[in-house]
Amino acid sequence: MRALSLLLSAAALASCATQPPSPTEAAESQAKLASLTAGKVAGQPLTCLPPGLRSANMEIIDDSTIAYREGSRLYVNHLRGSCSNLKSGFYTLVVRSGGSGQCSGDIADVTDVRTGMTAGSCALGEFVPYRQQ
């Protein structure tokens, strides 16, 4: 029994360790972000998303970058810290936000969509708006 608890503890600690993305993964993420922002110009970073923008409009770029779509406008957020496994299809990002919507500094949990268990967390950064030129 003790061996099992030690094994589970070691597995939990190992899952918290973040490794840098491979060169291939980094290139794929950069290409996806470039595709999303193509033909758009970046504006001044915002502390909070506009009210009414929902996580249903969220697109995961990689474990440390997400984007929200609102019509032709895009809001890119570089997370503070990496949310491991976020890019995996088995996890989603659940943001614990105050009443005013999602803001920089809000805690985001990586949640297993199959079990509902939290697999990690990170904090939101500023939101960089991109609009059509």
pTM of the predicted model over 0.75: yes
Return the pLDDT at 78: 95
CA distance 86 to 93: 7
73-88 per-position pLDDT tens digit: 999 999 998 888 887 7
114-128 per-position pLDDT tens digit: 999 998 899 999 999
Return the pLDDT at 19: 60
Return the pLDDT at 9: 40
H/E stretch holding 67 reads strand 65-70
Q: Does position 6 have pLDDT exceeding 50, yes or no?
A: no
Cβ atoms of residues 107 and 96 within 8 Å? yes
| Residues making up the chain, counted from first to last | 133
Return the pLDDT at 21: 64
Which of 5-19, 50-64, 113-127: highest mean pLDDT?
113-127
